[in-house]
Structures are given as structure tokens and as C-alpha cells.
Amino acid sequence: MKIYDGKYILIGLIIFIVLATFPVWFTHGRTVAPPDLKLDTPVIGKMAVKQCVLPKEEMITGHMKLLNDWRTQVVRNNERMYVASDGKTYEMSLQNECMKCHSNKSEFCDRCHTYAGLEKGVDPYCWNCHIAPKENK
């Protein structure tokens, strides 16, 4: 079989494959430490049972859905008090309830969002309007 201009085509193909797979082999073998989330805020420290609204695993994967559902309930339906599966009642408020415990936004929310490569102020844009608690730096 004869390929016209086979030399150039093959060289071009090799360059293309090397470039296209660059992200794969360039990061191969490199490990990035997972984000280190701090739960050592004063309010959490005082809690007898350290339990969030939902179990930890569900919060990790589903906190965005929970927050969105809360938003809908509060803003659209004027429904403000949430009963968790363990029977505890929470005010559905990011700014006034979530951040009461997680008063360390830069060591909690931001760590994962930065790790996941989310652009600050764009995704998630909660904090463009909602006021983060003051942190002692």
C-alpha cells in the first residue's frame, strides 16, 4: 500500500496524538493532595453530636441540590423551617444557618471549590450576594 505524502501525514499524525493526549501523560503519576477541610469552628467544637443537616456523604455530593431546594422553599414558597431526618429543625438559610457552624468559608467552602477548579465569583456565585461570615485572619 502506498500513501501519497505518507511521510508528512505520519509525522503530522504523531504530533497530533502527542498533543491531544498531553493532559493524560503530563499529569500521569502526579498526585494532588485532596482538599483539607477544616471543621474546627467554635460552634462545631461545642456540638455534642457533630452532625450536619444530612449525613456527611450526602452533603458532599448533594449540598448544592439541598441549597437549591432550600432557596426554592424560602423564596418561592415562604417555607423556612426544615426538619432533618434526625428530627432536628433548621432555618433554611445559607447566610444565617449554614455559616453559623461553617464560619470558616475560606477553609471549608473555598477549599473544595478551588480544588474542583471552579472559577471564583462565577461558579458558585452564592457569595456575590450572600455575605460570608467574618473570619479572623
Partner 1 sequence: METTRRTFLKLGGVCTLGLGTLPIVNALGKTDPEPKFVANTRELTARRWAMAIDLKACWERGDPKCRECTDACHTTHNVPDIGNRQHEVKWIWSESYGNVFWSAANPYMPLDLDRKPVMVLCNHCAEAPCVRVCPTQATFKRADGITVIDYHRCIGCRFCMAACPYGARSFNFFEPRPYIKTELNPRFPTRDAGVVEKCNFCEERLSMGQIPACVEACNKEARAMYFGDLEDPGSEVRRVLAQRYSIRRRPELGTGPGVFYLI
The piece of 8-16, 17-25, 33-41, 72-80 that touches partner 1 (CB under 8 A) is 72-80
Which DSSP string do the residues of 72-89 spell out, in sequence order? IIIIIH---EEE-TTS-E
Q: Give 113 or 115: the residue with its C-beta nearer to partner 1.
A: 113
- Cis peptide bond upstream of 124, omega within 30: yes
Would you say 112 and 36 are in contact if contact means Cβ atoms under 8 Å apart?
no
Binding characters for partner 1, 50-69, by CB under 8 A (x = yes): -------------------x
Q: Does position 106 bind partner 1 by CB under 8 A? A: no
Close Cβ partners of 2 (under 8 Å, ≥ 6 residues apart): none
41, 52, 82, 104: residue in contact with partner 1 (rule CB under 8 A): 82
Q: Where are the beta strands (DSSP E) in 26-93?
A: 81-83, 89-91
The four Cα atoms 111, 124, 50, 43 give a dihedral, to 10 degrees, of 80
- Minimum distance of partner 1 from residue 96's CB (angstroms): 6
SS3 117: coil
Q: Does position 122 bind partner 1 by CB under 8 A? A: no
Q: Does position 76 bind partner 1 by CB under 8 A? A: yes
The piece of 5-13, 17-25, 39-47, 77-85 that touches partner 1 (CB under 8 A) is 77-85
Contact footprint for partner 1 (CB under 8 A): 69, 71, 73, 75-76, 78-83, 85, 89, 95-96, 125, 128-131, 133-134
